[in-house]
């Protein structure tokens, strides 16, 4: 297979995943361009003999995103998207619990470090294994596994703390 054929196959297989990666990280307007940048780099530097190039592509995507953020002086956290401001719960009380869980998750997520958010996002959102996340992050497998385990524990603790704070400071919506 020629290099051009290999790159075309990679593009077909992974372009949408990379666009979603950038959208989830808060740059939806730039996602297509950033994904294209990943493939420009892949065209120039894709290592030969990779069994699975997907983790390598996510590692490149991570660096492209970092460069984009530095260039444009944007400091955004990796937010868990909440597509409802909570007013939906007032119109539909049966959804109050679902929205409370999403708000609690967003608050807990925002309290995590960027490193914890990244390892969790790579495994949960992008579907990478700990070993593949290690490749994407440029760290050892054991380091990624340890980072993932600790990040999951910190998220669990934050969720418990956030849930306790939320449940003690809110009143249920009463039907009128």
**Rounded average pLDDT per 10-residue block, the chain, 176 residues:** 83 95 93 95 86 93 92 51 47 60 84 93 92 94 95 92 62 48
Task: Kindly report the number of other CB atoms within 10 A of residue 172's CB atom.
Answer: 8
User: Quick one: pLDDT at residue 25?
Assistant: 92
The domain spans of the chain are 3-71, 87-169
First-to-final CA distance of the chain: 68
Q: What is the pLDDT of residue 71?
A: 80
Burial of 166 (0-12, 13-18, 19+ CB in 10 A): middle
pLDDT score, position 96: 61
Q: What is the DSSP letter of 112?
A: S
Distance CA 168, CA 23 (A): 34
The domain 87-169: what is its CATH number?
1.10.10.10
CA dist., res. 69 & res. 53, Å (int): 24
Whether the model pTM is above 0.85:
no
pLDDT of residue 166: 58
């Amino acid at each position: 297979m020629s290099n051009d054929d290999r790159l075309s196959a990679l593009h077909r297989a992974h372009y949408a995943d990379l666009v979603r990666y950038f959208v989830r990280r808060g740059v939806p307007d730039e996602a297509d361009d950033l994904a294209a940048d990943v493939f420009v780099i892949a065209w120039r530097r894709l290592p030969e003999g990779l069994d699975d190039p997907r983790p390598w592509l996510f590692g490149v995507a991570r660096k492209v995103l970092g460069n984009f953020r530095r260039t444009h002086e944007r400091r955004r956290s990796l937010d868990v998207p909440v597509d409802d401001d909570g007013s939906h719960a007032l119109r539909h009380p049966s959804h109050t619990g679902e929205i409370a869980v999403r708000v609690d998750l967003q608050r807990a997520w925002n309290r995590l470090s960027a490193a914890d958010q990244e390892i969790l996002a790579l495994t949960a959102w992008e579907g990478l294994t700990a070993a593949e996340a290690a490749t994407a992050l440029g760290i050892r497998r054991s380091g990624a596994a340890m980072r993932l385990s600790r990040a999951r524990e910190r998220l669990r603790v934050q969720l418990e703390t956030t849930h306790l704070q939320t449940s003690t400071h809110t009143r249920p919506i009463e039907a009128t």
